Structure 1
Amino acid sequence: MPIPFTALVNQLPATTPFVGPEALERQRGKPFRARIGANESAFGISPLAAQAMQQAVARSAWYADPESHELRTALATIHRVDIDEICVDAGIDTLLGLTVRMLLETDSKAVTSAGAYPTFNYHVAGFGAELVTVPYRGFHENPDALLEAVHQHNAPLVYLANPDNPMGTWHGEEKITSMINAIPDNCVLALDEAYIEFADQPIAPPVDTSNPRVIRFRTFSKAYGMAGQRIAYAIAHRDLISGFNKIRNHFGLNRVAQIGALASLNDTDFIPQVMHAVQQGRQQVMELASSLDLYAEPSYTNFVAVDLQTTERAKKMLTLLADNDIFMRMPGVEPLNRCIRVGLGTSEEFELFSEVFSDLLKSL
């Protein structure tokens, strides 16, 4: 019996943006010894958050506050904005989906970089809009090319991640400010700042919620180590936030995640500790690559892109690493796919990767 799918659903491929390590482990029939491919934090969560969430579990029968009032109040204080200029939801992926739904018609076009974070593309396709991509400039996203494409295609939405995933590269405050100021009145910039806490120096422009042409996305998944709790937020003009509230699932964010996120914000010692560990981890990967005569791209994230010079070598290395129980990913578009993306794991995971990678490199 045929299922009455919409024409749009019928034409979509049966794919997801990522194959999870759990699916790969089921295929392999055994777990990975090093899980350094999903940009998860190897440095745990705030002890205050862990304690708060453990206590909150006892009241799992309760629904979460659909307004996330306490968390939004705390975030508004931190960012010096009004509570009505913050929207909290289940990860940046969810917020990107809402952004696409809110701003794109089925005949609209959205602009992004070829090889940038693919979940944005997934949502654009899922809502029937058209994706326009521009190439990276080297290993960096190209704001000038993105803006040119916005004007050329009259696009109402453009996506940029700063720092970037999958390359870890970044643009400074001046360049991002210039891009924001150049966004036309009929367009909104989706500025993904998931990795912003890992930047060695300030690169984010001051938050300006008076500008309705930009939405800033932040997350608790990366530096705060709460990826499994699925919680993030958008900062934007109150009219944009009002748009989110018209279409979001108001009970979609779980109560334990909200309580853990709020406790994380109150732990002022935790993020500096994570930053120190991340800086050390990046340095270790850079030094390892240098010792093997490989180029590693400087990073402001919790991973480092290591250039293996050809796509074939990068793909082969990924397969060999998996054969040695190390989960890792690589970019999917030229010229980025010359690289593998080395996540910053525990000291034990790095030691395993360092030993195995050094040996495998000889066979490429």
Structure 2
Amino acid sequence: MAKPRLTPLIESLPAMVPFVGPEALVRARGKPFRARIGANENVFGPSPRAIAAMAEAAAGNWMYADPESFELREALAQFHGVDRANIVVGEGIDGLLGLTVKLTIDPGDTVVTSNGTYPTFNFHVAAAGGRLVRVPYRDDRQDLGALLDAAIAEDARLLYVCNPDNPMGSFWQADKLQELIAALPDGLLLCLDEAYCDTATAMQPLAFDVGNSQVIRMRTFSKAYGLAGARIGYAVGEAGLIAQFEKVRNHYGINRVGQIGALAALGDQAYLADVVGRIDRARGMLGDIALRNGLQPLPSGANFVAMDCGHDGAYARRVLDGLLARDVFARMPGTAGLDRCIRVSCGTDADLDVFAAALPQAIADADAE
């Protein structure tokens, strides 16, 4: 049978989804979850201002979004104290990560990342034919020194750091990131994925230095702002670097309703502060639930808590399966060493009550096998 000619690179790659979505699990199970606390979504939802703005905008969906995202970029620039030329808006951080790889990586070029951190980044590198060097975690944190050493030794073009980190929730303070940035060799771009920075109440924020063309920082409206379904992310960097995105980005790929909702959400910082407070409270409650059941919660700056089950990955998988059997959607890291943990997103009091009731039963099941 006749068929199209795909590139050898694409032909060689497996077809897979980085994360099995809760919707797929619901279809397979034939029933909904009682607690959806596995996808690091903000269950507290977006600002009422954002909801109202998006509802009003829905009737105008016959129009394309502004391809320049002018108003949103202008507002973000004022918010961060930079120029509009320092910001590009994209289809979530995932879309911007793909564009960053496209801008920097030719087949065979080296990219350095941590072994176990946000895996969707690795898909972009694979699709570009990049050579991925994975650096082990140290004490459940990304090892900044080892990452830098690997990038230098391998003559890497791109270094990816997720801060706060997914899936462990750990984070580095601004002074350590400054040390990393100061030591970057010529020709290396540091991509800082800061999807969870808004929820990291104990993290000292890193000041923006848009004069440094070797650093690009990714932010999103998917987490603290509660707009995961809108797919609006943005990158902040040196103007010359940001201008390169105009050569490769999908100019009409932005969701117009999401674009308008993000602008309204950014303008409601009082609501954001309230939500971050609720996330912080839920983190504490998740930690208490873990401790009551003999699990060790890891310090987290994200909107989830990783819980050390005290055994190997097979045991943690049994605990996770026990939760799923009791209609609780949670996840776990997929890398050996980290997979001794389960990872539970912050939820409402009702969500956490369901989790608190299901966890001891899931642990009992895991112990019995």
Is this a same-fold pair by TM over 0.5?
yes
Q: Which residue of 1 aligns with 2:198?
A: 197
Q: Which residue of 2 aligns with 1:238?
A: 239
Q: Which residue of 2 aligns with 1:254?
A: 255
Report the AA paired with residue 67 of structure 1. E
Report the AA paired with residue 356 of structure 1. A
* 1:16 CA drift (Å): 1.9
In 1, the alpha carbon distance for the partners of 2:334 and 2:202 equals 29
Q: Which residue of 2 aligns with 1:206?
A: 207
* 1:183 CA drift (Å): 1.1
Q: Which residue of 1 aligns with 2:182?
A: 181
1:89 aligns with 2:100: no
Report the AA paired with residue 179 of structure 1. L
C-alpha contact (below 8 Å) 2:172/2:203 kept by paired residues: no
* 1:202 CA drift (Å): 4.1
**SS across alignment from 1:160:** strand
* 1:195 CA drift (Å): 0.4
C-alpha contact (below 8 Å) 1:176/1:204 kept by paired residues: no
1:69 aligns with 2:70: yes
In the TM superposition, what whole-angstrom CA distance separates every residue of 1:82-123 from its partner, at most 9, and x where no partner exists?
Answer: 101100011000000000000001010100000000011010
State the Cα RMSD in Å.
0.9
C-alpha contact (below 8 Å) 1:138/1:335 kept by paired residues: no
In the TM superposition, what whole-angstrom CA distance separates every residue of 1:51-90 from its partner, at most 9, and x where no partner exists?
Answer: 0000000100011100000000000011111101100011
In 2, the alpha carbon distance for the partners of 1:362 and 1:20 equals 26
Q: Which residue of 2 aligns with 1:340?
A: 342
Q: Which residue of 2 aligns with 1:228?
A: 229
In 2, the alpha carbon distance for the partners of 1:136 and 1:65 equals 41
* 1:173 CA drift (Å): 0.8
**SS across alignment from 2:235:** strand
In the TM superposition, what whole-angstrom CA distance separates every residue of 1:183-231 from its partner, at most 9, and x where no partner exists?
Answer: 1110000000000011123422100000000100000000000000000
**SS across alignment from 2:151:** helix
Q: Which residue of 1 aligns with 2:19?
A: 18
* 1:334 CA drift (Å): 2.0
Report the AA paired with residue 330 of structure 1. M
Q: Which residue of 1 aligns with 2:327?
A: 325
Matches within 5 A, 1:249-288: 249-288=250-289
In 1, the alpha carbon distance for the partners of 2:35 and 2:291 equals 22
* 1:15 CA drift (Å): 1.1
Q: Which residue of 1 aligns with 2:313?
A: 311
In 2, the alpha carbon distance for the partners of 1:168 and 1:244 equals 29
Q: Unpaired segments of 5 or more residues in structure 2?
A: none
In 2, the alpha carbon distance for the partners of 1:266 and 1:129 equals 39
In 1, the alpha carbon distance for the partners of 2:203 and 2:122 equals 28
C-alpha contact (below 8 Å) 2:330/2:343 kept by paired residues: yes
* 1:337 CA drift (Å): 0.4
Report the AA paired with residue 350 of structure 2. E
Count of residues in correspondence between the two structures? 364
In 1, the alpha carbon distance for the partners of 2:191 and 2:309 equals 31
In 2, the alpha carbon distance for the partners of 1:13 and 1:279 equals 38
In 2, the alpha carbon distance for the partners of 1:126 and 1:191 equals 20
In 2, the alpha carbon distance for the partners of 1:233 and 1:34 equals 30
Matches within 5 A, 1:78-157: 78-157=79-158
In 2, the alpha carbon distance for the partners of 1:202 and 1:111 equals 24
Structure 1 pair 306/202, CA: closer, same or farther in 2 (3 Å)?
closer
How many percent of aligned residue pairs carry the same amino acid? 48
In 1, the alpha carbon distance for the partners of 2:31 and 2:119 equals 28
In 2, the alpha carbon distance for the partners of 1:204 and 1:143 equals 17
C-alpha contact (below 8 Å) 2:109/2:131 kept by paired residues: yes
In 1, the alpha carbon distance for the partners of 2:290 and 2:324 equals 19
C-alpha contact (below 8 Å) 2:323/2:358 kept by paired residues: yes
In 2, the alpha carbon distance for the partners of 1:307 and 1:230 equals 31
1:291 aligns with 2:292: yes
* 1:293 CA drift (Å): 2.3
C-alpha contact (below 8 Å) 1:156/1:186 kept by paired residues: yes
- Give the alignment's TM-score, normalised by structure 2: 0.97
In 2, the alpha carbon distance for the partners of 1:142 and 1:268 equals 33
Report the AA paired with residue 346 of structure 1. T
* 1:360 CA drift (Å): 2.1
C-alpha contact (below 8 Å) 2:320/2:362 kept by paired residues: no
C-alpha contact (below 8 Å) 2:161/2:192 kept by paired residues: yes
**SS across alignment from 1:342:** strand
Q: Which runs of 4+ in 1 moved over 3 A?
A: none
